[in-house]
Amino acid sequence: MPQPKRPSEAAKESFIPTMRELARAYQAFSAYSESHIRQFDLTPSQFDVIATLGNTNGMSMGEIGERTLITKGTLTGVIDRLIKKDLVQRETPDGDRRSVLVQLTPQGEAVFQQVFPAHIAHLKERFDQLDPSELELLKVLLRRLQQAF
């Protein structure tokens, strides 16, 4: 393990400006996305679940947790609030009483059909400002960064 540097030396690390830009980019994306999602009376986590369940026959809580950005501890509360909005339902499959399937209700499916394409179009306006080659490079670099952790 490398020896820690003094604060004045650590502040000069070459990756710090990149780290700041990454954080600022995420904050800008998150704010832009969230403000649009909230217009549909959804939180980002609720939208994430609806988008994940769309075009499926339902998923277990574990599958939803793996496919979304929602922590396990938060997911139950998100599902409970979506049930209160009549957008999802829990169902126990026949023959497996230990398993719980979460599915969109007809109202949830209608919300998915309306909100998902609208949100993708909203985000596309911003991503279209980048060339396809820039998007590909960004994807590759972000994947490499993720793998570093």
Report the distance separating Cα 34 and Cα 20, nearest Å.
21
Residue 93 confidence (pLDDT) above 90: no
Model's pTM, two decimal places?
0.86
Written as six digits, the tokens of 103 are: 């599915």
Report the distance separating Cα 102 and Cα 140, nearest Å.
33
Residue 108 confidence (pLDDT) above 80: yes
pLDDT at 98: 76
Average pLDDT of the segment spanning 74-87: 96
Q: What is the pLDDT of residues 23-69, one digit of tens each?
A: 999 999 999 999 999 999 999 999 999 999 999 999 999 999 999 98
Structure letter (DSSP) for residue 6: P
Report the distance separating Cα 85 and Cα 102, nearest Å.
14
Q: What is the DSSP string of 13-59?
A: -TTHHHHHHHHHHHHHHHHHHHHHHHTTT--HHHHHHHHHHTTSS-E
* 17-148 maps to CATH 1.10.1060.10: no
Contact status, residue 45 vs residue 13, Cβ threshold 8 Å = no
